[in-house]
Chains A and B, each alone.
Chain A
Amino acid sequence: MDKFVTHTGKAVALDLANIDTDQIIPKQFLKRIERTGYGEFLFYDWRFTPGGELIEDFVLNRPESVGVSVLIAGENFGCGSSREHAPWSLLDYGFRVIIAPSFADIFYNNSLKTGLLPVRLSSDDTAILTQRANSLPDHEIRVDLEASRISDNKGFSANFEINEFRKYCLLNGLDDIGLSLQYESSISAYEQSSRQNQAFLAFSS
């Protein structure tokens, strides 16, 4: 996973609640066996007609959205399936930060593990940033993860909450597996004692 320390970028707003994982990356694109290459299928049904033509007035397809890296959305973003393809496709498209008043649990978790930063802001603050992203061509958002602070170049500034441990992992680009394997002896000890105490629970085949 890439480190996340600070990020500055242009934002685009999808002002809808409950944007689900089937919208973020429709299932027909889940058949790949790689982690990469999903960006072109992001929000596919919203970006393209059934014939594969670009839908020009969809916000991501507008000329002013070229190079965006911050997505602002409505509440309960990422609800639905556990597919990590959702954060993969957002990252692959070029997003590094998603701002919303709330996120679905699995999506939130998955994002942190892929280096995509989900930022929870109040509905009011989300609305301010949405309005600015929609109307100010030179609008830019800046995230400082170390300080848990989000700001823009028009005077907005707010703190956001993030679990300290997850923050530490993101700042250092740390892989969870390596961290957990530091507890190898605890894992083995747990296995030994549960095997002894609960042998009756083994899968009998």
Chain B
Amino acid sequence: MKTLFDKIWDAHIVHSEPEKPALLYVDLHLVHEVTSPQAFEGLRLAGRQVRRPNLTYATVDHAIPTKNRNLPFADPIAAKQVETLRQNCKEFGVPFFDLDRIEQGIVHVFGPEQGLTRPGMTIVCGDSHTATHGAFGSLAFGIGTSEVEHVLATQTLPQTKAKNFLINVEGELPFGVTAKDVILAIINRVGTAGGTGYVIEYGGSAIRSLSMEGRMTVCNMSIEAGARAGLIGPDESTYEYLRGRNLSPKGDDWVKAVEYWRTLPSDTGAAFDRTVAIDANELSPFVTWGTSPEMSVTISDRVPDPAAIGDDNKRRSYERALEYMGLEPDRNIESINIDRVFIGSCTNSRIEDLREAAKVVQGYKISGSVNAMVVPGSMQIKRQAEAEGLAAIFQDAGFEWRDAGCSMCLAMNDDVLADGERCASTSNRNFEGRQGRGGRTHLVSPSMAAAAAIVGHFVDIRDWKFKEI
């Protein structure tokens, strides 16, 4: 009896011997501008080729502006990085979704959208949120630049097998509780290092009930729980999502593919090294209050008091986080005013996220003291949202409507928080300075971020007055 992870692992071993990492075959390698230039340069220096350019897909997302992409970049260093990737893709024959392509978007958004991401695959990318693709039942994990070069040159990676960790979320998610809240609750429970050394499989009826978008949100933040990869067994929702996508198998191939995918889910009774159970019925919307994704409480809670913490290290880190965040102990979460709202990132920038946020925003205007923006995950999503009328809802309410990219998730472009600014963000990291030096990030779901934009402080989405127009 095997887990999904065991099955994928076994099917991809190219070579193995005792005491050494196994050599694992890589089915799909996604590439972006920030972690690849040194890898291509390494290939050139060694006189090597990209072994399988047709299993490699590149795009630009991290450093690009999300406003006026047709103008020359304001930042010449970012421009050079993008141009370097463009040239590298040309030289090595790698398919490249450039700024003028509808497929362009955040690496973890365009892969699934184009039908590249599928069950049973091994997928790597020089980016820690590669686990997103695990939502399709693939083994997907982030790698460093040396490993990017290794995969380009050999289409394989030496890997030591991680352990199996099952997180079961059983029950029905209450109204207003989303996939983002599920993963924030999980991180809160296991801690940011709780998954170190493991591949997490998310299971249970609450996970099964999530859409593919929701599953991607959950798997996306596996790294925030310390795990390099997180995955979910494929099922009808998975196949339904993939059917008819641009690069998905077609006709007879489709039938054979689904038949194969059905063999992948973990066998009943397969052994996991660790298991955690979470009761979905008990979950509430979450808000992070600190500088680590595990520092979170529910919307009806208060900021914790470090004085009540026995462990010295933990108390110090809580004190430091509160100081950085400019918050006092016992503060009511709903009373925290915000300056900025960011709806975007590979965690929450897909069409369903935008629909959820638009439902909240519909018929309202954003608070006069808030500056808010929506950054779709791909140009395809942007166009779809415009066609569905979502863009108009956001713009009428006062949101900026941007082009696709990572944007203020990591603030490598000019979308940056000013010192002391407080942001409700749908992204995945609230580290010190993540969205700009001195910037204060609170991680929330798209609907919670949208509601905060309207009223200027956090509110409980479960009490929201939705306006149907």
Bound Cα distance A131, B25 (Å): 45
Bound Cα distance A72, B270 (Å): 40
Which of the 9-residue segments A63-71, A106-114, A135-143, A152-160 touches chain B? A106-114
- Chain B residues 278 to 318 lying within 8 A of chain A, measured CB to CB, are 292, 313, 317
- Highest count of chain B CB atoms <10 Å: which of A181, A199, A201: A201
Given the known A-B contacts A18-B317, A28-B412, A84-B144, are A176 and B158 also in contact in the complex, defined by CB atoms under 8 Å? yes
In the complex, the chain B residue whose C-beta lies closest to that of A103 is B196
> Nearest chain B CB to A34's CB is how many angstroms away?
7
A31 touches B78 (CB 8 A): yes
- One digit per residue, 1 when the CB lies within 8 angstroms of any chain A CB and 0 when it does not, for chain B 60-88 equals 00110000000000010110110010000
> Nearest chain A CB to B62's CB is how many angstroms away?
8
Given the known A-B contacts A27-B410, A177-B153, A204-B250, are A187 and B14 also in contact in the complex, defined by CB atoms under 8 Å? yes
- Chain A residues 155 to 184 lying within 8 A of chain B, measured CB to CB, are 163-165, 176-177, 179-181, 183
A34 touches B38 (CB 8 A): yes
Which of the 9-residue segments B16-24, B164-172, B385-393, B448-456 touches chain A? B16-24
B144 touches A82 (CB 8 A): yes
In the complex, the chain B residue whose C-beta lies closest to that of A166 is B21
B196 touches A105 (CB 8 A): yes
> Nearest chain B CB to A96's CB is how many angstroms away?
17
**A22 interface residue per 8 A CB criterion:** yes
For A198, the chain B residues whose CB sits under 8 A away are 260
For B63, the chain A residues whose CB sits under 8 A away are 30-31
**A102 interface residue per 8 A CB criterion:** yes
A22 touches B432 (CB 8 A): yes
Bound Cα distance A33, B75 (Å): 14
For A82, the chain B residues whose CB sits under 8 A away are 35, 126-128, 130, 142-144
> Nearest chain B CB to A167's CB is how many angstroms away?
11
- Highest count of chain A CB atoms <10 Å: which of B63, B116, B431: B431
> Nearest chain B CB to A72's CB is how many angstroms away?
14
B38 touches A177 (CB 8 A): no
Given the known A-B contacts A79-B226, A180-B158, are A113 and B81 also in contact in the complex, defined by CB atoms under 8 Å? no
B142 touches A106 (CB 8 A): yes
> Nearest chain B CB to A151's CB is how many angstroms away?
25
Bound Cα distance A28, B37 (Å): 16
For A76, the chain B residues whose CB sits under 8 A away are 192-193, 196, 226
Q: A75, A164, A187: which contacts B25 (Cβ < 8 A)?
A: A187
> Nearest chain B CB to A9's CB is how many angstroms away?
24
- One digit per residue, 1 when the CB lies within 8 angstroms of any chain A CB and 0 when it does not, for chain B 431-447 equals 11110011000000000
Chain A interface residue count, Cβ-Cβ cutoff 8 angstroms: 58
**B46 interface residue per 8 A CB criterion:** yes
In the complex, the chain B residue whose C-beta lies closest to that of A75 is B193
A23 touches B431 (CB 8 A): yes
**B217 interface residue per 8 A CB criterion:** no
Given the known A-B contacts A31-B75, A33-B38, are A176 and B410 also in contact in the complex, defined by CB atoms under 8 Å? no
**B209 interface residue per 8 A CB criterion:** no
Bound Cα distance A89, B116 (Å): 34
B155 touches A187 (CB 8 A): yes
Bound Cα distance A35, B115 (Å): 33
- Highest count of chain B CB atoms <10 Å: which of A74, A110, A176: A176
> Nearest chain B CB to A35's CB is how many angstroms away?
5
B410 touches A200 (CB 8 A): no
Which of the 9-residue segments B231-239, B241-249, B354-362, B370-378 touches chain A? B241-249
Bound Cα distance A27, B144 (Å): 15
A180 touches B317 (CB 8 A): no
Given the known A-B contacts A109-B144, A177-B153, are A204 and B248 also in contact in the complex, defined by CB atoms under 8 Å? yes
A16 touches B317 (CB 8 A): yes
Chain B interface residue count, Cβ-Cβ cutoff 8 angstroms: 81
**A81 interface residue per 8 A CB criterion:** yes
> Nearest chain A CB to B152's CB is how many angstroms away?
9
**B327 interface residue per 8 A CB criterion:** no
B143 touches A177 (CB 8 A): no
Q: A17, A32, A180: which contacts B154 (Cβ < 8 A)?
A: A180
> Nearest chain A CB to B57's CB is how many angstroms away?
9
**B197 interface residue per 8 A CB criterion:** yes
Bound Cα distance A205, B115 (Å): 10
Q: B54, B320, B437: which contacts A45 (Cβ < 8 A)?
A: B437
A33 touches B84 (CB 8 A): yes
For B143, the chain A residues whose CB sits under 8 A away are 82, 106
Which of the 9-residue segments B251-259, B331-339, B340-348, B397-405 touches chain A? B251-259
Bound Cα distance A148, B438 (Å): 40
In the complex, the chain B residue whose C-beta lies closest to that of A20 is B431
A33 touches B81 (CB 8 A): yes
B226 touches A105 (CB 8 A): yes
For A187, the chain B residues whose CB sits under 8 A away are 14, 23, 25, 51, 154-156
A165 touches B156 (CB 8 A): no
Bound Cα distance A34, B320 (Å): 34
A183 touches B196 (CB 8 A): no
B84 touches A106 (CB 8 A): no
> Nearest chain B CB to A100's CB is how many angstroms away?
11
Given the known A-B contacts A33-B37, A187-B14, A190-B14, are A177 and B46 also in contact in the complex, defined by CB atoms under 8 Å? yes
B192 touches A106 (CB 8 A): no
Bound Cα distance A22, B428 (Å): 13
> Nearest chain B CB to A130's CB is how many angstroms away?
12
> Nearest chain A CB to B238's CB is how many angstroms away?
14
Name 6 A/B residue pairs within 8 A (Cβ), A-sorted.
A22-B432, A75-B193, A105-B196, A113-B146, A114-B146, A203-B115
Having A31-B78, A200-B252, one finds 13 other A-B pairs with CB under 8 Å, namely A20-B431, A22-B410, A31-B75, A45-B432, A76-B192, A79-B192, A104-B196, A109-B144, A187-B23, A191-B25, A201-B257, A202-B249, A205-B247
Query: Which residues of B are at the interface with A, using a C-beta cutoff of 8 A?
Result: 14-15, 19-21, 23, 25, 34-35, 37-38, 41, 46, 48, 51-52, 54-55, 62-63, 75, 77-78, 80-81, 84, 115-116, 118, 126-128, 130, 142-147, 149-150, 153-156, 158, 160, 192-193, 196-197, 223, 226-228, 246-250, 252-254, 256-257, 260, 292, 313, 317, 320, 410-412, 419, 429, 431-434, 437-438
A-B interface, 3 closest residue pairs, ranked by CB to CB distance from nearest: A110-B144, A33-B37, A200-B253
